[in-house]
Structure 1
Amino acid sequence: MATNDFLPFGTGAGANVLSQAVWAALATRANGFQNGVADPQPVNKALRQAAFVAAMIGQFTADYGGDALDNGDLPTFEANFKAALAAWIASGSSPIDLSSYVLRAGDTMTGLFAAPAGFKTASRALTTAATLTPADFGKFISLSSGSTFTTTFPTPVSNGSGLFTVFNNSGVAQTVSTPAGAFLGPGASSATTESVPAGSVYRYESDGSNWIRSVASNAPNALPKLSFIQTTQTWTRAAGATKAFVIAHGPGAAGGGDPSGAGSAGGSGGGSGGWAMSLLDISSTSSALVTISAGGTGISGSTGGDGAGNTSFGSLVVAGPGSGGRPGSGSSSIPGGLPGTGITGQILGNGNPGATCFWASPDAGANGGPGLFGGAGRGGCDDGGSFPAVAGTLGSGGGGADASDGSSGAGANGGGGWCLVWEF
C-alpha cells in the first residue's frame, strides 16, 4: 500500500486549539502573529487546519495514485496526485457526470473519459482514393483534389450510428461508395455510389443497413435548377435533385403563302405546337435526351410547312407539332392550320389553330396560333406598302403571307419547340 507522510496535527481529544467560533472572530488571524510569545491555541489552530488539508490530499494520493512522501520531491507528488484523480474518475466513484467532457491534444482524443459510441474528434484529408474504416467514424472527411477519385465507406451493416461528415473541398465532383446497402435520404442516389458536388458538405449516418444522407450545405446555386432548352441535347440531372417539373412544347407551323393573282385573301396562320407537363421522380434518372424540333418553313404561294416533329424529354414527356396555314384564295375564306397536341405526360394540352383568312377581308394574311407562352406571328399586309408576315416564336405559328397583286409570297416560319426543366 502506498505511503502518506502528511499526517494530521492537533486532532486528538482535548487538543489545545481554539474553537472554530473564536478562531473566526480572532483579529490576529487576519494580520498574523506579531513579535513576542505566541498564544499556543491560535498557533495550534492554524497548524491543524493546514496539516488537516495536507493530510487529506496525501491520503487521497496514496489511496489512488502512489506515495505521498514528505521528501521535497514536488514533481513526483504532483504526478501521483494527478494519477489519483484519473484513477478515481475511471473507477466510477465520481458523483458528477463527466461523460460529455473530452480532453484533446490536437486532433487526437486523450484522457480517460469514454467518448460516445462512434465519436472521434479527428479530421482526415484525402487527395486520392481511400477506404475508410470504423475507426474513422465521427471524423470530418475533407476531399481535396483537382481530379475525381472514389472514397469507399465501411459497410453500414452492423455499424448503426456510425457517421461521417464529407466536405468536397475541390473544384470537381467526387464519388463516395459503399460495399453494402445504399445511399438513401433526400436527394441521395439510392445506389451503392453517389456524387458529392464541388463545395458541398454531406453528412452520412448508418442505420445499421444503409447510409442515410443529409445535406449540411450544398454547392452554391446547385438547386433548384431551371433549364430552358431550345436545341436537341442530353440533359443531365443536377446533383442532389430528386424531382423535376417538365414542360415540353411542340414546334409551330408556318403560315400559308399567297399565290400570284389570289386577290384579296392572303394565307391563313400556322397552328402552334401542343404541350405536355409532368412532375417526375428523377432520383434514379441520371440523364435523358431532350429532342427539340424546328418550326415549319414558309413556302411561296403554298401551304405552310408543318412543325418538323415532336418535342420530347426522353419518352416521359412528349408534345406534337402544329400544322401549316393554307394558301390565300380570291374566292373563299381560308381556315388556319391545325394545332399540335400533347402526346405523353400527366397534363396534356392542344396548341391554338392559326387564324382564318376571310375572303373579301382587308387585303392581309392571318395571324399564327399563339403558343403556351404567346409568340404568335403576325400576318403580312402588302396593301399600300410592304409589311411581310412575321415568324412565330416559342412553338407558336407563323403569320400568313399577303403578296403584291400579280406575285406570290411565302408565309412566315413557325417557332421552334422548347422544353423547360425545373429540378429540385
Structure 2
Amino acid sequence: MRRQMVYSGQIPLETDLLHTNRDVMIALGFFAQAILGTTTCVDGLACTPTSPASMTVNVAPGSIYAVAAVDDASYSSLAADTTHSILKQGLLYDSAAFALTAPATVGYAINYLIQGTFSEVDGGSTVLPYYNSSNPAVAWSGPSNSGAAQHTTRTGTLSLSTKAGTAATSGTQTTPSADAGYVPLWVVTVAYGATSISSGNIVVHPNAPFINPKLFGLLSSITGFVAKAGDTMTGLLAGTAFRAAKGAPANNAAAVGYGFGGDGDTGLFAMTGTGNDDTTELSILFNAVRKMSFRSDGRATVAADPTAAMDVATKQYVDAKGVAGIQFITATGTYTPTAGTVAALVFAQGAGGGGGGPATTGTLGAGGGGGGGALAVALVTSPTSTTVTIGAGGAGSNTAAGSAGGSTSFGTAAVAGGGAGGLVGFNDGTGLFYSSGGVGGTATAGTVQLKGAPGTAAANVAPGTGGAGLFGTGGGVHGMVSPGTPRSPGAGVNGGGGGGAEDSQTGGTGGNGCVLIIEFK
C-alpha cells in the first residue's frame, strides 16, 4: 500500500490529499478483490412488497462490487488512470421504489427484471473560495474569481432500473436479459387484473450474483449440535439461515433466545430458553416450526412460522446464498442431487424405539419411554445418486419391552442406529412398579456421530417419555383422564422414542427416521 509523505514546514498541495484518497481506495479495492474475486457481485438489496400491498415493490439499500478503472476521468488535479483496474464498491444508500403495471390482456402475465450496475458520479457541485494573493483578506469566488462551480465528491453508486419483458399467456412469459453493464437481481411477475404485488410474485433471478457467505466452509466446520440449554456448536457466521424450533410443536410459542457464547465474543453459539415440558431441552429442528437467521451483530432473529414448508422469503435467501437445494427424505429410496450441486451436508436421523408396557394387563405398572435415534452427519463432495434407507420406528408393547428403532443410512457415508425400546414395568415387591427407558441409538458412520437421547424411566404408575431426536420429539402421555382410566401414550416424531404405557395400554410407536440434505452449488 502506498502512503503519501509530507514534511514539517512544507507547503501542502491539493495533490497530497488527492493521492491519499486514491491510494486508500486502491488498497481497499485489492483487499476486496482478494475476498470476493473479480466477478461482479452484490449484497443486501432485498426486494419486498409495500405495506399495505400495492403495485410497487421496494428494494432495500445494498452494495455492488465491480472491476473498474482507477479513475476514468481526471480526479481534480490528478490525471485519469484507465491503465489500472481495481474492484470498486458502489452503494445504494436509500431504498428504491419501482411501480409496475399489469398487462392489459386477459390471461396474460409479464415478468419485470430489476437490474443493477456500478457507476461513479461526481457531485457536490458548489462555488468554492480560493486564495486571493492580491488581497488575502478577500477570497476569490471560484478559480481565478470566475464564479464557476466545481464538484467536491466522487461517489461509487449502485444504480437500479427495471426492464419489462413481453406480456404473454400466463406461464409462458419470459424474463428479459439484463442490459449491457448490468447484472440481473430480481424477477417480479405481474398477472392481468393484479391490483397489488405479494412476496409470492418476487423471486431471485437465477443468475443474480448475490455474495455467497461461504456456507460450504461454515457448515463443514460444525462440531456439535445443541441438545439442551448451555450446549454449543462452533463455526456459525452472520448471514447463515436455519430453521429451528423450541421443543415440541405444541409448545413452540414460548420465547426463545439465541446468542453467541453468552457475551458475543467467544465464537460459540449458545441456545437458551424455557417454556417447554422439559425446561432444559432446546433442540434445533430443521423443517420445523420456527426459522432463525443470524444478523451481523452476532445475534439472531426468530420469527413465527406455523408451516413446515420454506416460505418464499426463505427460498429467496437460500437461492441467493449459494444453496442449490434442501431435501428432506422420510421414505426409503434413492437420493438424486439437485442440478448444480457440488457438495452436500447430510444429516441422517435413526428411528426411535417403541415404548414399553406394564408387566401384565390390568396391573398399575408402567413402561419406560423408547430411546431416541442417533444422528450421523457427513459432508459429501461431488454427490451422486445414493441409496437412502429410512429406519422404521420401533413398535410399542403391551406387556413387554418396546421394539428397537431401525437404522437410517445415506449410502455408507452416514449411518445412524435406532433407539432401544423402553423396558417393561415390573413389581419391586412392595406393590410399586418401575421400568427403565430405552437407551439412545448409536451412529456408526459419519463425520459427526451423536448418540440419541435416552427415554425416561417410569416411576410407580407414571409412564416414561420417549427420548427426542434432532428433528422431532419423543412421545409422552396425552394428559390425565378420569380416575382409573389409563392414559394413552404418544408416538415419537422423526426419530423420537415412543412413550411408555400403563395398565392395559400399548406403548407408543417410535418415530421413523429421516434424512436432511443441504445441497451447495
TM-score normalised by length of structure 2:
0.36
Q: Between Structure 1 and Structure 2, which shows a larger proportion of strand residues?
A: 2
TM-score normalised by length of structure 1:
0.44
Structure showing greater radius of gyration is 1
Query: Which structure ranks higher in relative contact order (CA pairs < 8 Å, sequence separation ≥ 6)?
Result: 1
